Structure 1
Amino acid sequence: MHAFTVIRTYLRLGLLNFVQYRADFFLGVVNAAIQFAIQLLAISIVFNQTDSLKGWSRADLIVLVGVHAIVSGILGTVFSPSIGAFLESIRLGTFDFLLTKPVDAQLLASVQSVAPQSLTSLLAGIVIIVYGLQTGSGFPGFGSVVIFVGLLIAGLMMVYSFMMVLASLAFWFVKLDNIMNIFNTMFGNAGTWPITIFPGWLRVTLTFIIPIAFAVTIPAQALIGSLTLANALLTAALAVLFVAASRWFWLFAVKHYTGASA
């Protein structure tokens, strides 16, 4: 079965589930509105004291919050619930059934559960970006938007790869909920601020180990006009490296998986 067919099938099932439980979507709208109101209030408080935060203006930070919302929305719609379902299948011993299907097990583990209510974050992110650009230096050209989309995809692949490496540890350490919760908390808190405001050691960690900078800060730079060619090329190269490394680690982990009956 073709990979895109599998993805489309699970997305369709998720949408059908959404139709049955539409109240979850509206709760998601309310939660997203509260969350973004708090974030925008925090930005306003900061910029009541200063005109610039490590080279970022108020409008620039609003754009960054919007980019973070888009990334969070995509992760929350597909990858986070799917990885959560994968961890649950390891605990319950049902992962063996996934291995018997005629489709790549990593693909199934990555898209098996869809939470359409998280799309509210993605849609809100687009609105926030438009507002930030409108109040800032204006809208970027078509080329900058294309670069932004490319960097956003690359950053998403890096975060997904990091999450898959963490999840693959479940083949040895069954209960990893706390680790995944720590990651989600770090991404939720640190991702809404530019990477340049953090101390050196944390900046390195959030760039090359937990790739928050490549998923949020650098794509945002493409929209506000501060992106460098070096950062763009580095993002593309590291995205390939992260995906390849996570694939290798997944195959290594599955090879050492003893199964539920062991």
Structure 2
Amino acid sequence: MLKTIRKYTRLYGIFIKNCLIAQMEFRGNFIMSILVESVYLIAKLLYVLVVFRTDLHVEGIPPEGLLLFIGMHTVATGIYVGMFFTNFMKIPEYIKDGSLDILLTKPVSLQFMASLRYVDLALPIPDMLVGFVMIGIGWHAMDIPLSFLQLTGFALMLLVSVVITYCVMIIPALLSFRFVQTGSVSEIAHSVWDANNFPMAIYPTWVRRIGTFIIPLFLITNFGPMFLLGQINWLHAGYAVAGSLLLFIAVRLLWKHAVKGYTSASS
């Protein structure tokens, strides 16, 4: 297993290197991507301005504490657009034009190649920088200890966030094996994603249950800040880790099932 992990880690490093070289050949596009994402980020920061100007409190959490949630959502967005978005958008194209046939011949996991081949190194820069700054400001303002346990717990919840982001946002791509055209499903997924930048406490109980236990989008941006604020403990963190692993296994099985029904576009 360790040998396999080293193999795929090294391969992913090659993916990053190749994508960086390709993006540096068109530096104007690289800079433009950063500027476009920065404009989107400025629009998102208007939420922060409204939160502080209205002195918004959610379930007793002051505006400074809400920065943890908005910052976590911003970081998660940076991870998604950098690691997954391009790949997930390409999977339906692979299926339609038969490019998936070439990937099937590679001596590595088809899911790994299809869903992680491309890395955008420009779009995540503004989100990651501003997101972590907001988390840092909220962390300090809420007098949360900067201890090893707090850092470890938050890092663990961030890892859970990455896994769940992958599992949930790849679902439209999996549907494309059967329906091919899944653009509307992707749009719905992205709309729901944008509604996840505040504590889930703002939603009714039934929405929270759906967003936690059925489609666990709330775990992406809520569990990290909730851990720092003492609203969940290590037991809940353990449940989140176990849940993310089970979700990944389910997505892995769904991928294998989808590929079994794949018919080459060239046949």
1:110, CA displacement in angstroms? 1.4
Q: Is the 8 A contact 1:77 1:119 kept in 2?
A: yes
Q: Is the 8 A contact 1:167 1:176 kept in 2?
A: yes
Distance in 2 between residues matched to 1:136 and 1:32, nearest whole Å:
29
Out of 138, 151, 172, the position equivalent to 2:178 is 172
SS of residue in 1 equivalent to 2:179? coil
Q: Report the count of equivalent residues.
A: 261
1:242, CA displacement in angstroms? 0.3
1:223, CA displacement in angstroms? 3.0
Other-structure match for 2:187: 181
Per mean C-alpha deviation after superposition, the further-off stretch among 53-62 and 31-40 is 31-40
Other-structure match for 2:62: 57
Q: State, as a whole percentage, how many aligned pairs show the same letter.
A: 27
C-alpha deviations, 1:57-84, integer Å up to 9, x for none? 2111112111111111111111111111
Out of 5, 19, 24, the position equivalent to 1:19 is 24
TM-score, normalised via structure 2 length? 0.89
Per mean C-alpha deviation after superposition, the further-off stretch among 163-172 and 61-70 is 163-172
Letter matched to residue 219 of structure 1:
G
Q: Is the 8 A contact 2:58 2:201 kept in 1?
A: no
1:96, CA displacement in angstroms? 0.9
Indicate how the Cα distance of structure 1 residues 135 and 195 shifts in structure 2: closer, same or farther if over 3 A, else same. Answer: same
| 2:12 matches 1:7 | yes
SS of residue in 2 equivalent to 1:91? helix
Distance in 2 between residues matched to 1:193 and 1:51, nearest whole Å:
11
Equivalences for residues 69-148 of structure 1 within 5 A: 69-120=74-125, 121-148=127-154
Distance in 2 between residues matched to 1:90 and 1:73, nearest whole Å:
27
Letter matched to residue 154 of structure 2:
F
SS of residue in 2 equivalent to 1:116? coil
Distance in 1 between residues matched to 2:66 and 2:46, nearest whole Å:
12
In structure 1, the gaps of 5 or more residues are none
Letter matched to residue 229 of structure 2:
I
Q: Is the 8 A contact 1:140 1:224 kept in 2?
A: no
1:191, CA displacement in angstroms? 1.8
Letter matched to residue 176 of structure 2:
A
Distance in 2 between residues matched to 1:15 and 1:209, nearest whole Å:
37
Indicate how the Cα distance of structure 1 residues 62 and 31 shifts in structure 2: closer, same or farther if over 3 A, else same. Answer: farther
Letter matched to residue 208 of structure 1:
F
1:33, CA displacement in angstroms? 3.8
In structure 2, the gaps of 5 or more residues are none
What is the CA RMSD across the aligned residues, in angstroms? 2.0
| 2:207 matches 1:202 | yes
Letter matched to residue 43 of structure 2:
I
Out of 36, 52, 73, the position equivalent to 1:68 is 73
1:133, CA displacement in angstroms? 2.1
Per mean C-alpha deviation after superposition, the further-off stretch among 46-55 and 10-19 is 46-55
Other-structure match for 2:260: 255
| 2:239 matches 1:234 | yes
| 2:37 matches 1:43 | no
